[in-house]
């Protein structure tokens, strides 16, 4: 069943209404003030009381539900939906699940909404910590190994974007301490954390490692000491070159062609 097939006029529980008696997603201003009531809060409230977990909805559903109170801009709504993730919401789109039509979303898990009270405080990762984590992890996803801007082997048209993820997901009690944070591509980010639950432990890994030959043990140790799978100097230069601007990459390619021709 899709949200499009459900009527918007129905009896709602008390939690669906703000103190002034309006439905949360119909509010223009924060209760008791003249500050605008945020679009994320409206989306969270409407989804909570109008879409069941496992059901789908579309951008058209959201626009009809929120009326003229939000911009008629798909990317604006997309950003607002993504901003709900730290509050416990899981809402995959076609980008996350190719079985979904473009513009259609599936509600997998509900999180905080205004009827529950004040919004939980978020522990943001600072820009300095974000760069520290990326540098520590070699600017590669620790889950699948893809580098920033690299195409996925099975989908060359889709390029990886790195983000900071949690080893233990926040809604499972994970913190924002550096030891719980790691570099992940957006494809491997929170959905994988929920599928796997708690991360790998040493107790689970050791039985497999103890079956390795000496050469394999030495290789694994060298990778762990380097905090990355050791690649040759061409690999390392490529990683650095990928982070150059487009113009600098073009100049580098020209320089490489000149050097190659000069060595013949």
pLDDT in tens, 134-153: 988 888 888 778 888 888 76
Rounded Cα–Cα distance for residues 264 and 218 (Å): 39
pLDDT of residue 262: 81
Rounded Cα–Cα distance for residues 29 and 20 (Å): 11
Who has greater pLDDT, 196 or 47? 47
Statement: residue 132 has pLDDT above 80? yes
Statement: residue 13 has pLDDT above 90? yes
Statement: residue 108 has pLDDT above 80? yes
Predicted confidence band at 171 (pLDDT cuts at 50, 70, 90)? low
Domain boundary among 149, 168, 199: 199
Strand partners, 162: 185
Q: Average pLDDT, stretch 31-49?
A: 88
pLDDT of residue 53: 93
Predicted confidence band at 242 (pLDDT cuts at 50, 70, 90)? low
pLDDT of residue 16: 93
Q: Are residues 129 and 104 in the same domain?
A: no
Statement: residue 197 has pLDDT above 70? no
Percentage of the chain surpassing pLDDT 90?
13
Q: Are residues 95 and 195 in the same domain?
A: no
Q: Are residues 149 and 47 in the same domain?
A: no
Please tell me the least confidently modeled range out of 155-159, 166-170, 233-237. 166-170
Is there a domain that residue 195 lies in? Answer: yes
Residues contacting residue 237 through CB under 8 Å, at least 6 positions apart: none
Domain count, the chain: 2
Predicted confidence band at 166 (pLDDT cuts at 50, 70, 90)? confident
pLDDT of residue 57: 92
Statement: residue 45 has pLDDT above 90? yes
Rounded Cα–Cα distance for residues 18 and 69 (Å): 16
Is there a domain that residue 207 lies in? Answer: no
Please answer whether residues 78 and 62 qualify as being in contact, where contact means their C-beta atoms are separated by less than 8 angstroms. no
Predicted confidence band at 123 (pLDDT cuts at 50, 70, 90)? low
Residues 184, 176, 226: CA angle, nearest 5 degrees: 50
pLDDT of residue 3: 43
Please answer whether residues 19 and 25 qualify as being in contact, where contact means their C-beta atoms are separated by less than 8 angstroms. no
For all residues of the chain together, what is the average pLDDT? 79
pLDDT of residue 95: 78
| pTM of this structure | 0.47
pLDDT of residue 38: 84
Q: Are residues 182 and 106 in the same domain?
A: no
Q: Are residues 98 and 188 in the same domain?
A: no
| pLDDT tens per residue across span 59-69 | 888 888 777 65
Statement: residue 199 has pLDDT above 90? no
Name which of 134, 186, 182, 196 is nearest 160 in CA terms. Answer: 186
Who has greater pLDDT, 51 or 227? 51
Please answer whether residues 229 and 147 qualify as being in contact, where contact means their C-beta atoms are separated by less than 8 angstroms. no
Q: Are residues 128 and 156 in the same domain?
A: yes
Predicted confidence band at 77 (pLDDT cuts at 50, 70, 90)? confident
Residue 139 tokens read as 């600017």
Statement: residue 52 has pLDDT above 70? yes
Q: Are residues 75 and 18 in the same domain?
A: yes
Domain boundary among 199, 223, 246: 199
Residues contacting residue 77 through CB under 8 Å, at least 6 positions apart: 39, 43, 59, 62, 63, 70
Q: Are residues 104 and 137 in the same domain?
A: no
Strand partners, 36: 29
Domain boundary among 180, 199, 218: 199
pLDDT of residue 194: 45
């Amino acid at each position: 069943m899709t949200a499009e097939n459900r009527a918007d006029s129905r009896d709602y529980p008390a939690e669906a209404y703000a103190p002034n008696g309006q439905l949360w997603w119909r509010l223009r201003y924060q209760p008791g003030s003249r500050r605008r009531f945020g679009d994320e809060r409206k989306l969270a409230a409407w989804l909570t009381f109008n879409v069941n977990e496992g059901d789908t909805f579309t951008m058209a559903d959201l626009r009809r539900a929120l009326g003229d109170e939000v911009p008629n801009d798909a990317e604006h709504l997309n950003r607002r939906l993504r901003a709900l993730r730290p509050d416990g919401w899981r809402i995959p789109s076609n980008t996350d699940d190719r079985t979904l039509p473009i513009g259609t979303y599936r509600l997998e898990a509900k999180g905080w909404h205004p009827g529950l009270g004040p919004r939980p405080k978020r522990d943001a990762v600072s820009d300095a910590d974000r760069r520290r984590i990326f540098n520590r992890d070699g600017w590669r996803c620790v889950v699948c190994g893809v580098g920033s801007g690299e195409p996925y082997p099975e989908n060359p048209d889709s390029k990886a974007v790195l983000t900071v993820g949690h080893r233990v997901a926040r809604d499972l009690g994970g913190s924002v301490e550096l030891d719980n944070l790691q570099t992940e591509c957006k494809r491997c980010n929170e959905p994988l954390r929920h599928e796997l639950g708690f991360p790998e432990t040493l107790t689970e890994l050791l039985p497999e490692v103890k079956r390795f030959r000496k050469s394999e043990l030495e290789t694994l140790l060298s990778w762990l000491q380097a905090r990355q799978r050791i690649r040759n100097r061409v690999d390392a230069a490529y990683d650095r070159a990928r982070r150059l601007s487009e113009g600098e990459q073009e100049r580098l390619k020209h320089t490489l062609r000149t050097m190659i021709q000069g060595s013949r």
